[in-house]
Homo-oligomer: A and B are copies of this chain.
């Protein structure tokens, strides 16, 4: 291999995500990544021209974007699976700190915000099939908006974990899925 970039990419990515979770986005620098990974600064800049480009590549590599699209044959279990994956993403040892650091920084960094926006759009595009199957089976009303249902369910997890500072108790995922499917009226 002639290029030093890809060969050393893994240690650069590890250093990037490690420093991000330890220091936050503002504390993350190419210099810091160079020091921790042992890869020279100019080499890093040759492959990733900016901090945001490097961060985007590191996130992609980390499979944070991974989503297993369920097909259990029923909308209740399919939704539970999707929501459990959101919960694991936000609370997992390996992913939780990274995701919260990025969401936090994205609120005042446009480049990072568009990365987050793309992530959510890509995820929703892959989730649509779950809703199409459920509508075809007669389990959801015609015209049900997948984005709205995922806003409610993923938003509830988000708000509880990030704003209320709680890890939802067992059964929480099942309860919010039932509430959105059956409604709160008697």
Binding site for B on A (CB under 8 A): 24, 26-27, 100-101, 103-108, 113-114, 116-117, 120-121, 138-142, 144-145, 148-149, 151-160, 162-165, 172, 175-176, 179-186
Q: Given contacts A140-B186, A141-B184, A179-B148, is CB(A107)–CB(B113) below 8 Å?
A: no
When the two chains form their complex, are residues A154 and B149 in contact, meaning their CB atoms are under 8 A apart? Answer: no
Counting every copy of the chain, the complex holds 2
Query: Which of A108, A113, A157 lies at the interface centre, i.e. has the most chain B CB atoms within 10 A of its CB?
Result: A108
A149 contact set on B, CB distance < 8 A: 179, 184
Residues in B whose Cβ lies below 8 Å from that of A181 = 183-185
Known interface pairs A104-B105, A141-B184; 12 further A-B residue pairs with C-beta atoms within 8 A, sorted by A's residue number: A101-B107, A103-B104, A114-B165, A141-B185, A141-B186, A144-B184, A151-B155, A152-B180, A154-B155, A156-B156, A158-B158, A158-B163
Taking A183-B180, A185-B139 as contacts, is the C-beta distance between A159 and B148 under 8 angstroms? Answer: no
Query: Do the beta carbons of B182 and A180 come within 8 Å of each other?
Result: no
